[in-house]
Structure 1
Amino acid sequence: MLIVAQGGGIDRQAAILAASLRRNAPGFRGRLIVAEPQPGGAWSGSDPRMSPRARAALEAFGAEIRPLVARDFGRSYPHGNKIEALALLDPGRPFLFLDSDTLILGKIGALPFDFTRPSASMRREGSWPQPPAYRQTYESIWRSLYDRFGLEMEGSLDLSQPDEHWERFLYFNAGWFFGADGPEFGRRFRDWAVAVRDDPGEALACQSLDPWLDQVVLPLVIHSFGGGRPASGLAGLDGDVTWHYRNLPLLYARGPRRAIDELEAIAALPEIAPLLSGWTAAERLIRAGQGRATIRPMFADYPPHAPERGIRKRLKQAELWLD
């Protein structure tokens, strides 16, 4: 299992993830590997390393920390950490990448992963692409990418969805993904992401690639390795086995009660509690109780699949969109 941890708050999220893994999947037989970006390279001019307290917490929960010297993304595109970090993994061994703002809620090692058929999170919205009127379509934009990398697109389509509906095309959230060989997967992911970033091509000329670059290239890489949409047996990811909470206001607004209970229990652990000091969202929503007392009731009647944009807007209006 691979995650990324660096200063600025991602390190404390990583420590919370590690604590949740040890609490809720005590029989997990894999390794939790933490990629820590280093000064220099693509992070030149800044020090992205994690705090000593977060490092100590991760080590206390059994994580193995490996230094990541970014070459291609770094400060210019921090989401690229997950792409470059795959090179730190051992060749020939299956991997699961998780965003650090994720909670482990159950026995993740018991899920029926088929690592020969890579997949990724389907908990996403139609965020990319945004076809310009009268110029490009979902079909033409995605096909330009498949053609560019020598891939057939037809086998990736969900034919139950109508033409020009975004869900017809293979599109993932990059909050989790897995495959059979981390370095091999990472090489292709990195090479293709750099190629698209440096030369988007005519079809992508009007499309934003920041922050979407990883989610643009991920389905191409997964399809190229014979993967696709996750099998039904993996429904516990983004469900009762893991929860990608993204940030604390969103967790209280739409996360399952189980995830909130677990986060609050972890926040009280002696290894974690010191990391929350100075974290405005944690101090107000967890310690002062505003998450349960204020945010939770605000969204009690919201539809379960309401667009995130509306949730964010309401939280901001209430001055509860906190980092």
Structure 2
Amino acid sequence: MSGQNFNIMIVGQSGRLMYEAVLFAASLRAQSPGFRGRLYVAVPQPGPLWPSRDPSIRNDLVLATLDRLEAQILPFENQVFGQSYAYGNKIEALAALPEGEPFVFFDTDTLITGDLTSVPFDFSRPSASLRREGTWPKPTLYGPGYAAIWRSLYTRFDLDFDSSLDRDQPDEYWQRYLYFNAGYFYGACPRTFGERFLTYARTIRDDPPRELVGQSLDPWLDQIALPLVIHSFGGGRSSLPPGHLDGEVSCHYRTLPLLYARESDQVVATLEEVSAPNWIKKVLKGYEPMKRLIYQGKGHRVRALFDRENLPRREQAIRNRIKSEGLWMR
């Protein structure tokens, strides 16, 4: 099913995300010149749910560069989340995309590293990123456990819980239960997908099952609702063959220090290649971490701290080492 047309959405707003949007767009155009869909940069607009800041992009140089990279600004209004839960932007922005056109959402802190048109998407069976840790839920000593917590959510939305399980994994091990990183996800229609995503997320926030008492919903709400949405549309963990996204074709780097610390030489080379043209550099140097890590070479100081073949198992250990050297920037 490769070669089909689809649109891409990222969320950009004032601050770090608008610079990451430029870097994402530059990597898409450089690495996937055959992409014929539209690239939308969804931008939340100021309003009651942004009481103390303007999230829109007012930087003329950033806007001009995104236009040159053929990225279309897509304004949208927050009705549910906003400043109190900015991760909700990826949910609410879906309503602004063209109805009935397949879409792929990427977090802005993603680098395209290969030909996106080669990815064998089956948009009728949605999926999302499996590059994740067991961040939610955190069962307590006296319960309920993973199964009871997740079952309560499937029951709330009249979904079949048992068919979502990975029976190759043991009971009460987090990977037995459908769980994604929301760094990318895709589907056949952004309007229907987004409407269900918003309904599930808002219900979980406002009226959670009693099994969720004591569980933190912030920042995990999007990742709690996402597997339920994907399962409801007939998708799952095996919808996309491994090795494409979060593999040869894309890298969700999260932060530039983490990229330099743990990603492959090819990812680092792609980063530095797509950020090298003077008209891109002129923009990205406006963001201090990019200026220092990419253009002043401090990223390679981070890289020298780690052996990519023997990285710490937990991301927090990597972060702590970078911070101890005074090189953590975001």
TM-score, normalised by the number of residues in structure 2: 0.94
Q: CA deviation at 1:305?
A: 7.4
Tell me which moved more, 177-186 or 32-41. 32-41
Which residue of structure 2 lines up, in the alignment, with residue 64 of structure 1? 72
* Secondary structure, counterpart of 1:233 in structure 2: coil
Report the Cα distance in structure 2 between the residues aligned to 1:40 and 1:95, rounded to whole angstroms: 27
CA distance in 1, matches of 2:175, 2:20: 30
Looking at structure 2, the residues matched to 314 and 49 of structure 1 have their Cα atoms a distance apart, in angstroms, of 34
Partner of 1:121: 129
Equivalent of 2:49, from 42, 47, 61? 42
Aligned partner of 1:311: which letter?
I
In 1, the alpha carbon distance for the partners of 2:11 and 2:312 equals 28
Q: Given the alignment of the two structures, is residue 137 of structure 1 paired with residue 145 of structure 2, yes or no?
A: yes
Letter in 2 for 1:111: V
Deviation beyond 6 Å, 4+ runs, structure 1: none
Deviation, structure 1 residue 232: 5.3
Distance in 2, matches of 1:198 and 1:231, equals 31
Aligned to 2:119: 111
Q: Name which of 144, 147, 172 aligns with 2:155.
A: 147
Indicate if the aligned counterparts of 2:24 and 2:112 stay in contact, CA closer than 8 A: yes
Q: Does the 8 Å contact 2:10/2:40 carry over to 1?
A: yes
3-state secondary structure, aligned to 1:142: helix
Distance 1:119 1:322 in 2: 31
Shift of 1:113: 0.3
1:19: which partner in 2?
A: 26
Amino acid at match of 1:57: T
Aligned to 2:204: 196
Please say if residues 113 and 234 of structure 1, whose CA atoms lie closer than 8 Å, have aligned partners that are also in contact.
Answer: no
Matched, 1:286 2:287: no
Report the RMSD for the aligned CA atoms in angstroms.
1.4
Q: Which residue of 2 aligns with 1:309?
A: 316
CA, structure 1 residues 165+305, in 2 after alignment: closer, same or farther (shift >3 Å)? farther
Given that residues 19 and 287 in structure 2 are in contact (C-alpha distance below 8 angstroms), is that contact kept between their aligned partners in structure 1?
no
Q: Would you say the 8 A contact 2:126–2:239 is kept in 1?
A: no
Q: Contact 2:125 / 2:239 at 8 angstroms: preserved in 1?
A: no
Is 1:166 the counterpart of 2:174? The answer is yes
Offset at 1:90?
A: 1.1
**Among 307, 315, 321, which residue is 1:300 paired with?**
307
Contact 2:109-2:254 within 8 A present in 1 as well: yes
Q: Given the two structures, how large is their TM-score scaled by the length of structure 1?
A: 0.96
Q: Which residue of 1 aligns with 2:4?
A: none
- Following the alignment from structure 2 to structure 1, what is the Cα–Cα distance between the partners of residues 186 and 240? 15
SS of match in other structure, 1:36: strand
| Structure 2 Cα separation of the partners of residues 115 and 232 of structure 1 | 10
State the match for 1:216 in structure 2. Answer: 224
Aligned positions of 1:224-303 closer than 5 A:
224-231=232-239, 233-292=241-300, 294-300=301-307, 303=310
Q: Which position in structure 1 is the counterpart of 2:100?
A: 92
The number of residues matched between the two structures is 322
Shift of the 100–301 alpha-carbon distance from structure 1 to 2, 3 Å rule, reads closer
Which one-letter code corresponds to 1:20 in the other structure?
A: S
In 2, the alpha carbon distance for the partners of 1:24 and 1:212 equals 31
Between stretches 112-121 and 50-59, larger displacement belongs to: 50-59
Structure 2 stretches of 5 or more lacking a match?
A: 1-7
Q: Which residue of 2 aligns with 1:319?
A: 326
Contact 1:243 1:259 in 2 (8 A): yes
| Superposed CA offset, 1:27-61 (max 9, x none) | 11111111111111422442111222211111100
Q: Cα offset for 1:133?
A: 0.7
